[in-house]
Each structure stands twice: as C-alpha cells, then as structure tokens.
Amino acid sequence: MTGDDGLERLLRAAFPRAADREPSRDLWPLVVNRVQARVGWSWLDVSLATVVTIALLMFPRWLFLLAYHL
C-alpha cells in the first residue's frame, strides 16, 4: 500500500463525503444580526475606565507612562 492510491483509499475511508450533507439552518441572518447589533458598555469596561481615571488623577505623571504603552 504505497503511493498515492493507498493514501487516497485510506483518506476516503476515514472521512465521509461532504457533498452529501446539508446545513441544518441558514446562518447568514445570524451573521447579519450580529453585525448590526448595538455594542454597549459592560461593567468591566466602565470599572476599568474608572480605575484608570482615578489613578491618573492621583498620579498625573503616570499619564506619560500610559501614553508610552498605548
């Protein structure tokens, strides 16, 4: 079982034919709804922004450090 023919037989035996399968549902409307969905702020975003703002108010020299890393 050497050569391409043997490998082809092994691969055909291991994997079913993909042409026989149909999708269970249409996924395109889900993609469109996901793209058009309004993005909101999470509590994590708000708390992180608050922490950074308080830290910059307490230590104004850290602004240069923050700007350097952005």
Count up the domains in the chain and report the number: 1
Mean pLDDT of the chain: 87
51 phi and psi, to 5 degrees? -60, -45
Note whether residue 4 is domain-resident. Answer: no
Q: Quick one: residue 24, left, alpha or beta (phi over 0 = left, psi -120 to 50 = alpha)?
A: alpha
pLDDT band at 5 (very low <50, low <70, confident <90, very high): confident
Note whether residue 21 is domain-resident. Answer: no
Note whether residue 27 is domain-resident. Answer: no
- C-alpha to C-alpha distance for 24 and 20, rounded to whole angstroms: 13
Say yes or no to pLDDT of 1 above 60.
no
Task: Write down the pLDDT at residue 20.
Answer: 63
- C-alpha to C-alpha distance for 46 and 50, rounded to whole angstroms: 6
pTM: 0.45
Note whether residue 18 is domain-resident. Answer: no
Helical residues (DSSP H) of the chain, grouped into ranges: 4-14, 28-36, 43-58, 62-69
Note whether residue 10 is domain-resident. Answer: no
How confident is the model over 16-32, as pLDDT tens digits?
Answer: 777 667 777 888 999 99
Range of the domain at 56: 40-70
Note whether residue 32 is domain-resident. Answer: no
